[in-house]
Amino acid sequence: MSYSSIAGASLSRRRFLQMTAAAGAAGFAPSVAFAEEMKVHAAIGVDMWYITYMVAQEKGIWKRHGLDATITHFDNGAVALDALATGNADIGSATNMSMMQRVSRGAKMFAVSSMAASGKLFSVVSSEDLKTPKDLIGKKLGLSKDGVLEFLYKQFATNNGIGLEEIELVNIAPPEAVAALSRNDVDAIMFWEPWPSRVLELVPGTHTLRQLSDDGIAVTNWLFMGEDLINDKPRAEATLAALIEASEFVLDNKDEVVEIGARRLQTDPENIRFQYDNIDYEMVFPADRYTFDFDELAAFNLEKGLLKTVPTLAEVARPEFMLAVAPDRAPGW
């Protein structure tokens, strides 16, 4: 769900197919003894969903775990998974939706942890006369259909006792949200930031009807490893341990992390702070949480006919790495 941009720093899918500074940090002990650094390449998006990778580099955490890490930025995390699919990266993070689309085409990638999650960055914005979710019944809701937003809509409607057919869904792209609501083409929109904030700023008489977090709904970017890394146990465990250490630094050092994010992403610090405040950076891999997300998205993909086949949980979930590195973070397996 990427919504920031870096001038000249990201790779689009087309450019990819055609083809970062260390300081000391206290924290976890190095996960392996090493004579020379093991290489690992991360393919990531261009917003604060991916700050943990950058902090690991900025604070020398990769090196503390015996890793020589490089990073390539892509337009968003989903596109970055193409680098894993083609063997041009070892790690990346995106939704299970993005993973399933690629694995269904034969790609090999494996889930080992959550990376970042948020429900607060996803909102329903409507005219002020709509006060509750049920006021949307009989109205038009604008969102991007046949993707993760429609999947989230199903949870939103169910959690609020609304029949799935009681609200008319109108397919619009995120940049169309302001115009669609201004012209009364729709009565409300459901999108990720910055689009809800832009609507609130530019369309008079609108308000936040609901954040998805109000209903306990969150989008999770999972950490995926490519086939070469998953088959190299010492390197995989060191990679996971380094990112866990970096995630703890992210959680404990807000001001420094905001500074790193603003500098690395070339984005206004207030925007970075807003993103930081609304993303959960805890790295965990509970069986129930991953299974629920996986099963719900698999059913959605099949029901909508978006994919003819989806992988099984056993094909992609690899809890043994978290169980080896931080077993308390992987309950239920």
Residues 115 and 19 in one domain: yes
7 located within any domain: no
**CB contact at 8 A, 45 and 76:** yes
How many other CB atoms sit within 10 Å of the CB of residue 52? 28
Instruction: Kindly state whether residue 74 falls inside one of the protein's structural domains.
Output: yes
pLDDT over 70, % of the chain: 89
- C-alpha distances out from residue 300 to 21, 131, 291, 304, Å: 42, 29, 14, 6
| Backbone angles phi and psi of 209, in degrees to 5 | -75, -40
Token code pair at residue 49: 């969903």
Do 227 and 322 lie in one domain? The reply is: yes
Domain extent for 181? 122-215
Question: Are residues 321 and 200 part of one domain?
Answer: no
Q: Same domain for 200 and 246? A: no
Helix and strand numbers (H, E) in the chain are 15, 10
14 pLDDT above the threshold of 60 = no
Asked if residue 23 has pLDDT above 80, the reply is no
pLDDT classification of 13: cutoffs 50, 70, 90: very low
Given a contact cutoff of 8 angstroms between Cβ atoms, the answer to whether 265 and 67 are in contact is no
Domain co-membership, 238 together with 315:
yes
Within-domain flag for 6:
no
Q: Taking residues 314-332, what's their average pLDDT?
A: 98
Q: Are residues 227 and 210 in the same domain?
A: no
Q: Are 125 and 206 in contact (CB under 8 A)?
A: yes
pLDDT value at position 194? 87
Question: Is the Cβ–Cβ distance between 153 and 147 less than 8 Å?
Answer: no
Of residues 81 and 8, which shows the higher confidence score? 81
Per-residue pLDDT tens for 163-220? Answer: 999 999 999 999 999 999 999 999 999 999 889 999 999 999 999 999 999 999 999 9
- Give whole-number Cα distances, 54 to 191, 197, 253, in Å: 26, 26, 14
C-alpha of 97 from chain center: 10
Q: How far apart are CA 215 and CA 213, in angstroms?
A: 5
Q: Average pLDDT of 289-314?
A: 94
Confidence grade of residue 7 (pLDDT, cut at 50, 70, 90): very low
23, 147: one domain: no
What tens digit of pLDDT does each residue of 49-58 get?
Answer: 999 999 999 9
Residue 199 belongs to some domain of the structure: yes
Predicted local distance difference test score (pLDDT) of residue 37: 82
Both 95 and 240 in one domain: the answer is yes
Q: Is the sign of the CA dihedral 63, 240, 280, 97 positive or negative?
A: positive
Phi/psi for 182 (5° steps) reads -65, -40
pTM of the predicted structure, to 2 decimals: 0.84
Beta bridge partners of 224: 92, 111
Q: Which tokens in the block code for residue 40?
A: 């690992």
Clarify whether residues 180 and 209 are in a common domain: yes
Take residue 254 and report the two structure tokens written for it: 């807000």
Cα distance between the two ends of the chain: 28
Q: Note the pLDDT of residue 148.
A: 87
Indicate if 280 and 321 belong to the same structural domain: yes
Split into its structural domains, the chain has a count of: 2
pLDDT tens for each residue of 111-167: 999 999 999 999 999 999 999 999 999 999 999 998 889 999 999 999 999 999 999
- Give the C-alpha separation, 192 to 51, whole Å: 18
Q: Tell me the mean pLDDT in the region 215-226.
A: 95
Cβ proximity of 69 and 42 under 8 Å:
yes
Checking if the pLDDT of 96 tops 80, the result is: yes
Task: Tell me what pLDDT residue 146 has.
Answer: 83
Q: What is the pLDDT of residue 3?
A: 29
β-pairing verdict for 38-44 and 67-73: parallel
Which CATH number does the domain housing residue 165 bear?
A: 3.40.190.10
| Mean pLDDT within 43-49 | 95
* 210 belongs to a structural domain: yes
